Structure 1
Amino acid sequence: MTYTHITTDELVFIEAYFRHGTTVAQIAKRLGRARQTIHNVITHFKAGHTAIDYYQRYKEN
């Protein structure tokens, strides 16, 4: 299976869903992504960061 990088659009959707209280499983199903991927991004948001912060950290790595 090939890995596809998470897009900035997906990050914005994840952040919006997270802010509205949508569960990880529901977000994963809506976006067609693995729950672990969504969980990793949401953990970053819970630490007080944003989608832009996540993307900048990703680009640095």
Structure 2
Amino acid sequence: MTYKHLTTRELTLIADFWYQGTKAYRAAKLLQRSQETIYRVYRFLNNGKTIDQYLQTYQRHKRRCGRKQTQLPTIEVNYIHAQIKAGWTPDTIIGRDEHPISCRY
């Protein structure tokens, strides 16, 4: 199951629910989100912080998620560039087994 990040609109609604005193489980049901997601924002607001601070922290952490970028050794990069200049397609270059590529799969 993939994670769907909170939008600014959803965060604003969660903050409004918190200010109104709406229980987190009710807000979760209305927004069709996990209760833990709503509780996490509620706890942040209970600590005296603002929704703007939560959004900044959330976006900073969100940038770190996902697949990390792969760094190929210079030898492999040069080999790939040479084969592309020769007219080869990427799947042909990797499938040849002539020269090992470290990030094949």
TM-score after normalising by structure 1: 0.93
Q: Which residue of 2 aligns with 1:17?
A: 17
Identical residues among aligned pairs (%): 38
Amino acid in structure 2 at the alignment position of 1:29: K
Query: Comparing both chains, which one has the higher relative contact order based on Cα–Cα distances under 8 Å and sequence gaps of 6 or more?
Result: 1
Q: Which residue of 1 aligns with 2:52?
A: 52
Task: State which structure, 1 or 2, has the greater radius of gyration over its C-alpha atoms.
Answer: 2
Q: Which residue of 1 aligns with 2:29?
A: 29
CA displacement at 1:26 relative to structure 2: 0.4
Q: Which residue of 1 aligns with 2:92?
A: none
| Ranges in structure 1 where 5+ consecutive residues have no aligned partner | none
Amino acid in structure 1 at the alignment position of 2:31: L
Relative to total residues, which structure has the larger helix share, 1 or 2?
1
Amino acid in structure 1 at the alignment position of 2:43: T
| Ranges in structure 2 where 5+ consecutive residues have no aligned partner | 62-105
| Per-residue CA distance 1:22-52 (angstroms, 9 max, x = gap) | 0011000000000000000100000111211
CA displacement at 1:2 relative to structure 2: 1.5
CA displacement at 1:19 relative to structure 2: 0.5
1:1-12 aligned within 5 A = 1-12=1-12
CA displacement at 1:60 relative to structure 2: 2.0
